[in-house]
Amino acid sequence: MGKGKLYVVGVGPGSHDHMTYKARRAIEESEIIIGYETYISLIEDLLAGKEVYRYAMTQEVERANESINFAEKGKTVSLVSSGDPGIYGMIGLIYEILAEKKWKRQEGIDVECVPGVSSLNSCSALIGSPLMTDFAVVSMSDLLVPWNIIVKRVEAAALGDYVTVIYNPSSKKRIHQLMDTRKIFLKYRKPETPVAIVKGAYRQSQSIVLTNLENMLNYQNMLGMITTVIVGNSSTFSYDGLMINPRGYKSKYELANEISAEKKRQ
């Protein structure tokens, strides 16, 4: 039996246009594809002739163990997810399980993380340039992380004037978290601070709202597990439907200077 291979693949936001060449090649090479059923549906057209195992949302441990088990039997496997598997994704769980199993990189199954375009990349590209300076990323999901810890992280991001990307802002059972987060930000930032709400980036369901801290909760219909919220910092401004975070060039350069006639002739 040959040495198995496990790819942990990020397929990006959903559109094949934003999937890396490496991700597509890993899927093509794999005999077995495993993933959350919604992620599998994003790449359905690439799966002809492959064994496909679809899982429900809360079955991450089962997905990870089955992927490892198939690879240990000498198979080439792709465990797929949207976005990037290294950002709130499956690669961490894979390595945790392998560490418990006393796996050795040189002797055991071959594991490769194939990075993808995460929500913070895709959403920021759609709304302008909000991530030009230091930023923080926080998930509102308290399924695995206690809410009091998340509150500390939100407080630190708000106090530190970080542009803040919020993953998993709301669900049917999770209502108060984003409300609490907004209250924390309003302690440190003006009500008119720009906020972007992006649902289903680069998918058919895509919708985008540019608002501010004061009014961000007026768009409850857009909040959910495929929504990302970006809260600007004290320098962020809105312009012509875009959210812009200055990099700092204006303090050193004249930005909009005309090209001289001499340079035009050259």
Per-residue pLDDT tens for 65-106? 999 999 999 999 999 999 999 999 999 999 999 999 999 988
Asked if the structure places residue 238 within a domain, the reply is: yes
Decide if 265 is inside a domain: no
Q: Which helix (H) or strand (E) holds 125?
A: helix 119-127
Whether residues 58 and 172 fall in one domain: no
Whether residues 169 and 228 share a domain: the answer is yes
* 252 confidence band (pLDDT: 50, 70, 90): low
The answer, yes or no, to whether residue 260 has pLDDT greater than 80, is no
Mean pLDDT of 250-254: 59
Comparing 69-73, 181-185, 204-208, 240-244, which segment has the lowest mean pLDDT? 204-208
Residue 256 in any domain: the answer is no
Instruction: State the CB neighbour count (10 A cutoff) for residue 166.
Output: 26
Kindly state whether residues 54 and 101 are assigned to the same domain: yes
**91 domain residue, yes or no:** yes
125-176 pLDDT, tens digit each: 999 999 999 999 999 999 889 999 999 999 999 999 999 999 999 877 778 9
Domain for residue 257, yes or no? no
Q: Could you tell me if 109 and 184 lie in one domain?
A: no
- The model carries a pTM of 0.89
* 110 and 127 assigned to the same domain: no
Q: Residue 174's domain is classified under what CATH number?
A: 3.30.950.10
Pick the last residue of a domain from 69, 100, 117: 117
Q: Give the tens place of pLDDT for each residue, 160-170.
A: 999 999 999 98
* Domain membership flag for residue 266: no
User: Range of 82's domain?
Assistant: 5-117
CATH number at 89 reads: 3.40.1010.10
Q: Are 128 and 93 contained in the same domain?
A: no
Claim to verify: residue 146 and residue 214 sit in the same structural domain? yes
Give the chain's domain count.
2
132 and 219 part of one domain: yes
Q: What is the pLDDT of residues 216-238, one digit of tens each?
A: 999 988 998 889 999 999 999 99
For the chain, give the mean pLDDT.
91
Whether residue 23 lies inside any domain: the answer is yes
Q: Looking at 89, 117, 145, which one is the last position of a domain?
A: 117
Domain end point (choices 117, 140, 165): 117
Residues 106 and 211 in one domain: no
Q: Are 4 and 71 in contact, with CB atoms under 8 Å apart? A: yes
Q: 153 and 105, same structural domain?
A: no
Answer yes or no: is 263 within a domain.
Answer: no
Residues 130 and 175 in one domain: yes
Q: What is the pLDDT of residue 228?
A: 96
